[in-house]
Amino acid sequence: MAISEVKNELPNADPQSAEMNDWFEKKFEEEMKKREDAHTPSMAIIATRGTLDWAYPPFILGSTGAALGWDVTIFYTFYGLLLLQKDLNLKVSPLGNPAMPMKMPMGPDWLQKMNIPMPNVFPSIMPGFETTATALMKKTFQNKGVATIEELRELSLEADVKFVACQMTVDVFGFDHSDFIDDVSYAGAASFLPVAQKADVTLFT
């Protein structure tokens, strides 16, 4: 709004009057409302893990944010790079995860509702435990109608979620750009941090 327009709208009253204060407060609220309405919310997500269970949060949050009209960027670093590979072969890692194993996704109701306590040392000594846990998680998500990681990743890309791979980690782990899907950009932490700084929401997964 031009200064001349502001002067024309000023009430004919003493600057210290309640009327003048009310006018300024109203104009301030109007301008702030215009700024808020014109602002596009943004979200920056840092994905650091490459297991099946940890693949869901960044893709679900990212695709949901984009569906709400947000500007979303996901920065994949360290083992998070595995989520960008063309061929996904993600598994659940029960080690160090006190919530594992999950409840049974099949069988009678009493079995599906049962919590089966298992010492954390068992997964490390039981052959095939990781494969079994992965199959159980996939079956559970399928029963609940949750999209697969591949589907969520594609949904995110279709919704214009920006995928950024950490170039330093790519180099350290010996990856090549051809190992990853298209539509991935490459940058370092120095390039991503300003994006995270300006984001309305910043998440670490």
What is the percent of the chain where pLDDT is above 90?
49
CB atoms within 10 A of CB 83: 24
| Domains along the chain with CATH numbers | 45-204 (3.40.1260.10)
Contact by Cβ (8 Å): 153, 59: yes
Q: Lay out the sheet containing 71-76: strands in order across.
A: 184-187, 162-166, 71-76, 42-47, 201-204
Q: What's the confidence (pLDDT) of residue 144? A: 79
Q: At what angle do helices 129-143 and 52-67 cross, to 10 degrees?
A: 30
The tally of CA atoms less than 13 A away on the side-chain side of residue 5 is 3
Contact by Cβ (8 Å): 42, 36: no
Structure tokens, 135: 């199959």
More confident residue, 74 or 2: 74
pLDDT per residue as tens digits for the range 113-166? 656 555 554 555 555 667 777 777 788 788 878 899 999 999 999 999 999 999
As a whole number of angstroms, the distance between CA 180 and CA 177 comes to 6
DSSP string over 157-175 = HHTTPEEEEEHHHHHHTT-
As a whole number of angstroms, the distance between CA 151 and CA 157 comes to 10
pTM confidence score: 0.72
| pLDDT exceeds cutoff 90 at 9 | no
Beta-sheet pairing, 201-204 with 42-47: parallel
